[in-house]
Amino acid sequence: MIKRKKSKDTFELESYVREKRAVNYDFILFFMVLAVSSFGVLIIYSATRETFPGGVTDPQYYLKKQLIYLAAGILLFIAVQFINYRKIERYWWLFLIAGIVSLASVLMFGYEVHGSKSWIDLRFTTVQPSEFSKIFMVICLAAVLSKWKKEKEHRITFKKVIFSLAVALSFVAMVLLQPDYGTALIYLVVYIGLLFISGANFLYVVSIVGMIAGGVFLAFNAGYIKQYQLDRILVLLKPEVYPDEGAGYNLFQSKLAIGSGGLLGKGLFLGKQTNLSYVPEHHTDFIFSVIGEELGFLGAAVIIISLGIIVWRCFYIAARASDSFAALLGAGIGFIILSQIVINIGMTIGIMPIIGIPLPFLSSGGSNLISMLLGIGLVESIYIWKEVRKEYEIAYQEFK
Amino acid sequence: MNSNIRMRFKILFYLLVIIIIVLILRLYFMQVMSGELYAELASESITREKTISAPRGNIYDRNGKLLVRSIPIKAVAVQPNVVSGNESVMRILSGCLDIPYTKIRKDIEESNVSYMDKIIIKQPVDTSVVIYIEENIDKLPGVEVVDVYLREYSYGALASHILGYIGEISEDKLKSEEYNNYNYEGGDQIGLGGLEETYESVLRGKKGKVAYEVDPIGRPVSTIQEIDPVSGNDLYLTIDIDLQKIVEEALYQSILEVRQKKIKDTDEYYKATGGAVVVLSPVDGQILAMASYPTYDPELFVGGISKDDWSNLNDPENNYPFLNRAISSFPPGSVFKIVTAYAGLSEGIITEGSRFSCAGIWYGLGENFPKSCWLKSGHGSLNIVGALKNSCDIYFYQVGYGLFRKLNNAEELLQKYSRIFGLGSETGVDIPGEDTGLVPDEEWKAEYFKDRKDYSVWFPGDTVNMSIGQGDLAVTPLQMAQAFSIIAGRGIKYRPHLIKEIRDGGDVLFTSSSAREYEDLQLNKDFIEAIEKGLIQVAAPGGTAYGVFMDFPVDEIPVAAKTGTAEFYGKQDYAWFASYAPAGNPEYVIVGMIEQAGSGGSNVAPIAERIYRYLFNID
């Protein structure tokens, strides 16, 4: 009915609908992300103002840096909202190339931190391509698993599964080469999540999970997994065995910090365990320990619920998206955030192995924050560029 | 979107809710349920406590002259369980302390980690070392600089046997009950001999404490609590250090002189391996001087004694300088005769007027058991005064035999009186290591010779031998001084002691007079006076010590004395001289003993004479 008239009227109708749609925006997601990220800046300041990690001399070094990242991230977030996600779907292979190339370049030009070659130094800042590649991979997988143009209806065929597996494994392989097992794990979890939510036959999902488990087992037998990595998992079972060193020490100190926070916490800036650097990596991977210690159970619970709301909004928007690509894209972003929350917070409270991945929106570091804001920008784009037939009809009526 | 996918989104939503609930529940258990436990653990993990040693109390003589004081020094201590196996730490220590690496490693690894939480590696250390260690403390986990108080001796080796010494507490002591009531730690200095050991609890003071928070590498970041140490209390001794000096010099000189002498009719020199002198106040039991030779320098123990020094001190070749001979027991010989005399008088074996005749040899025990007097020609007829004056053995044999025969020795009278005079048991002097001596009796002999049946019986000859201070009788010079003090004081027995006062700065916490321990033995004054008459004669013309007291104004200051020359199987005779003066109004008891030095009258009496001259200001 609308399509029939390709006239000036149509154009005016579209711009009218767009005007209406400006109000059609997920403010919950926007404000939650803004609030949590801003709080992240504050807690990073609390974690670094007295401990000077990395040998910096300015107590506000990490505060300033994180503020810049936040500003940059928000700009990117806003910019991405103006892009119709359908364009992204069309050019998804560009993201495949960007992801693989950036991950390849980190292998060539990157530098090592904690034994992983994950960082590229761009002079003015450092970048961790594996963070951005998470989003890129989700875009690619969403494109692969969504309804292809030639398909009459959305179906997950064997071909799609193989294709998606190839895409996922190429990303995972690039990250494993660094090697960054934590990020690789996130990639795999996100892939499995996407496969599940794409509506694929459970047989596929189960066999992919089995394949991955088998692969890990073979890798361990072939000696690719080192003892210290095994310790990080064993430490969960018997944390008291290693309270003095390595993974056990980290976990012990993190639990002390969080546990000692009690109901209300020791107060912002007053966390002793973290401010005296007992908890390692307390501004990055163990930022949640600072939150738990300084803000107590109430503060930590509020943060968990806030993060939960962000994930919920991602899934919510995905579930109401107007096409399968958008649904998978939104869900994929949600999976990235959720899996990192579970593994990171779970690690700090001793229910997950010690795996070095950042906490979304909260851990110090630009790549993490900016890529997360980019992801949320995409989710908002799904929401903004959603095609709601009813809306058009109402608009048409009004337009007339 | 098909219903399958819609359902999967629903599952996802529930999964999200479950995850959030699990995380929050876990946090609830950690922070709310176990929050206090974690808080406690956390504060423990960042709080360190460090004890601060207290300055040890000083020691003064009776006139307030400083004998020993505490000097603070810096020492480097390590926690063996932290440092052991950390090669880089031990290498750094080796370099900055200038100790061979192998030695450091050995010291650390050989310490008993479970008890020795801390051991001192080196003391004292220079300020530069202290600064170096404090600046590099992050590279030296388990290492710390501690304050240690060492001893400084104003008079060197003088009175070392009385003062004792201090040293690092041993692992055994740390474990022991006795040292449990105070928070001793490895590396602590404690008293290990003499007064330092006896009055450890008085001298040690109270340790201070600093509690502070540290960062993960152990650097202090803030102080939580600080308790200052409390200095130990000061000891004021009964010893007069000037007198002590005279006494030690007199003893030393006499020993040197005796070593120049040959045993009569032989070419053998006296060995004079050691000796002791006690100067005691008979009116209150205060020990005014107590010397033992050979002696040692307590300075050797300051900062830990070296192995060589230690083995020298314990080497028989050096005649055991560690041994305080004033409280070690030896056969007393004739100085014991005062006991026999009193026993005889008291038991009616003799009276003041009883006379026995001495022909140089006595057959009282039978024709086959002749007993001779030291004077082969005999003393002729003697009463108790003459017998003491001449130290006639045969007179005392007969007294002893009489004591044995009374009730067929059922009461072991000689032993009974020996014990009344304090022999055979500790005097209770306040320094460790006192011998009880030995008053042999039937029971002891039966036990001692239980493998030799023919020997295990108490023979009359045993009592007879004992009556002149021979046989198995063993007495310490201090016991003998106490016995003479009983005679001098007409039956009052004081506990000899070395502490006059204990002070906390200016406040007197304890004085010996306030706790003066004495016992009235209820002795017969007439008998004692009879004995004293004899003792005065010893230093008078014809007495066994007259040769020494010839020039001493005994008319003004009557000296009651007894010489002794005790036989010691396999050794040269032990020389004794026991005395007090002025008789009747006694101020001083002086007892001297020199091992393997022959006659007490000629070889020990001069020491006493010299001391009396000093005490009574006689040139």
Q: Which helix (H) or strand (E) holds B45?
A: helix B35-46
Does B492 contact A at CB distance below 8 Å?
no
Helix then strand then coil, % of chain A, to nearest 5: 70, 5, 30
Residue B292 has pLDDT above 70, yes or no: yes
Shortest Cα–Cα distance, B141 to chain A (Å): 14
Q: Distance between CA B243 and CA B316 in Å, rounded?
A: 29
Looking at domain B48-237, its CATH superfamily turns out to be Penicillin-binding protein 2a (Domain 2) (3.90.1310.10)
Omega before residue B124 within 30° of 0, cis: yes
Amino acid at the residue A217: F
Omega before residue B294 within 30° of 0, cis: yes
The verdict on a CB contact (< 8 Å) between B23 and A342 is yes
The verdict on a CB contact (< 8 Å) between A259 and B35 is yes
Which residues on chain A are in Cβ contact (under 8 Å) with B39?
Answer: 259-260, 262
Give me B367's structure tokens. Answer: 């024709």
Amino acid at the residue A201: N
Q: Give the pLDDT score at B228.
A: 92
> What are φ and ψ of residue B151, in 5° steps?
-100, 145
Q: Give the pLDDT score at A2.
A: 45
Does B213 contact A at CB distance below 8 Å?
yes
Higher pLDDT pick, B503 / A3: B503
Residue B27 has pLDDT above 70, yes or no: yes
Measured between alpha carbons, how far apart are the two ends of chain B, in Å?
128
Q: Give the pLDDT score at B140.
A: 83
Does B216 contact A at CB distance below 8 Å?
yes
Amino acid at the residue B117: D
Does B7 contact A at CB distance below 8 Å?
no
The verdict on a CB contact (< 8 Å) between A259 and B43 is no
Q: Assess if CATH 3.40.710.10 describes domain B241-498+510-615.
A: yes
Q: Given the structure tokens 């950390």, which residue do they identify?
A: B86
Instruction: Compute chain B's Rg from CA coordinates.
Output: 34
The verdict on a CB contact (< 8 Å) between A259 and B42 is yes
Residue A5 has pLDDT above 50, yes or no: no
Q: Distance between CA B102 and CA A372 in Å, rounded?
A: 57
Which among B31, B32, B212 is the top mutation candidate for probing chain A, defined by the most A β-carbons within 10 Å of its own β-carbon? Answer: B31
Does B34 contact A at CB distance below 8 Å?
yes
Q: Give the pLDDT score at B398.
A: 94
Which among B9, B11, B23 is the top mutation candidate for probing chain A, defined by the most A β-carbons within 10 Å of its own β-carbon? Answer: B23
Q: Which of B499, B515, B544 is nearest to B62 (CA)?
A: B499
Chain CA centroid to CA B542, Å: 39
By a Cβ cutoff of 8 Å, what residues of chain A touch chain B? 154, 196-199, 253, 255-263, 272-273, 276-278, 292, 296-297, 300-301, 304-305, 308, 311-312, 315, 318-319, 321, 324, 327, 331, 334, 338, 341-342, 345-346, 349, 351
Residue A235 has pLDDT above 70, yes or no: no
Q: What is the rounded (10 degree) CA torsion for B569, B570, B571, B575?
A: 10
Does B9 contact A at CB distance below 8 Å?
yes
Q: Distance between CA B500 and CA B324 in Å, rounded?
A: 21
Contacts of residue B353, Cβ cutoff 8 Å, sequence gap at least 6 = B383
Half-sphere exposure of A268 (CA within 13 A, CB side): 9
Q: Which of B467, B339, B452, B337 is nearest to B402 (CA)?
A: B467
Does B47 contact A at CB distance below 8 Å?
no
CA distances from B467 to A69, A152, B333, B341 (A): 106, 134, 9, 9
Sign of the CA dihedral B210, B211, B213, B214? positive
Does B4 contact A at CB distance below 8 Å?
yes
Q: How many CB atoms sit inside 10 A of residue B602's CB?
A: 19
Contact B419, B369 (CB under 8 A): no
pLDDT digits (tens, 9 = 90+) for B136-174: 877 887 888 888 888 889 999 999 999 998 888 887 888
The verdict on a CB contact (< 8 Å) between B32 and A262 is yes
Contact B381, B394 (CB under 8 A): no
Instruction: Compute chain A's Rg from CA coordinates.
Output: 22
Q: Scanning every residue of chain A, which has its alpha carbon at the shortest distance from the alpha carbon of B6?
A: A319
Q: Distance between CA A359 and CA A338 in Å, rounded?
A: 10
Of A198, A300, A321, the CB nearest to B27: A300
Shortest Cα–Cα distance, B109 to chain A (Å): 21
Shortest Cα–Cα distance, B85 to chain A (Å): 16
Q: Distance between CA A9 and CA A3 in Å, rounded?
A: 11
Model pTM?
0.72
The verdict on a CB contact (< 8 Å) between A259 and B20 is no
Chain CA centroid to CA A49, Å: 26
Q: Which of B566, B577, B582, B487 is nearest to B538 (CA)?
A: B577
Q: Distance between CA B324 and CA B604 in Å, rounded?
A: 18
Contact A311, A278 (CB under 8 A): no
Q: Distance between CA B168 and CA A77 in Å, rounded?
A: 70
Rounded mean pLDDT of B594-608? Answer: 93
SS3 A355: coil
**Lowest pLDDT segment from A280-284, A313-317, A323-327, B193-197:** A280-284
Length of chain A: 400
Measured between alpha carbons, how far apart are the two ends of chain A, in Å?
14
pLDDT digits (tens, 9 = 90+) for B495-514: 999 999 999 887 888 887 65
The verdict on a CB contact (< 8 Å) between A197 and B5 is yes
Shortest Cα–Cα distance, B33 to chain A (Å): 8
> What are φ and ψ of residue B476, in 5° steps?
-90, 150
Q: Give the pLDDT score at A391.
A: 64
For chain B, the domains span 48-237, 241-498+510-615
Q: Give the pLDDT score at B516.
A: 66
**Lowest pLDDT segment from A60-74, A334-348, B78-92, B540-554:** B78-92
Chain CA centroid to CA B471, Å: 27
pLDDT digits (tens, 9 = 90+) for A99-130: 999 999 999 988 887 777 888 888 888 899 99
Average pLDDT, chain A: 87
Of A263, A308, A321, the CB nearest to B20: A308
Q: Which of A121, A118, A29 is nearest to A372 (CA)?
A: A29
Q: Which of B351, B348, B498, B338 is nearest to B420 (CA)?
A: B338
Q: Distance between CA A67 and CA A64 in Å, rounded?
A: 5
pLDDT digits (tens, 9 = 90+) for B11-23: 999 999 999 999 9
Contact A332, A190 (CB under 8 A): yes
Q: Give the pLDDT score at B195.
A: 94
Q: Given the structure tokens 């000037």, which residue do they identify?
A: B242
Please report, rounded to a whole number, the percentage of residues in chain B having pLDDT higher than 70.
98
pLDDT digits (tens, 9 = 90+) for B396-448: 999 999 999 998 888 899 999 999 999 999 999 999 999 999 999 999 999 99
Q: Distance between CA A350 and CA A352 in Å, rounded?
A: 6
Of B23, B26, B42, the CB nearest to A256: B42
Q: Distance between CA B468 and CA B371 in Å, rounded?
A: 12
The verdict on a CB contact (< 8 Å) between A319 and B6 is yes
The verdict on a CB contact (< 8 Å) between A262 and B23 is no
Which residues on chain A are in Cβ contact (under 8 Å) with B38?
Answer: 255-256, 258-260
The verdict on a CB contact (< 8 Å) between A273 and B42 is yes
The verdict on a CB contact (< 8 Å) between A296 and B28 is no
Q: Scanning every residue of chain A, which has its alpha carbon at the shortest distance from the alpha carbon of B19?
A: A342
Size of interface A-B (CB pairs under 8 A): 123
CA distances from B8 to A157, A192, B349 (A): 18, 13, 122
The verdict on a CB contact (< 8 Å) between A305 and B20 is yes
Label residue B277 by pLDDT band (50, 70, 90). Answer: very high
Q: Distance between CA A398 and CA A19 in Å, rounded?
A: 13
Does B2 contact A at CB distance below 8 Å?
yes
Helix axes A129-145, A92-109, angle to 10 degrees: 150
Q: Give the pLDDT score at A243.
A: 53
Angle value at C-alpha A128, between A292 and A226, nearest 5 degrees: 75
Rounded mean pLDDT of B309-327? Answer: 87
Of A297, A315, A342, the CB nearest to B27: A297
Q: What does DSSP say about strands B371-372 and B361-362: parallel, antiparallel, or unpaired?
A: antiparallel
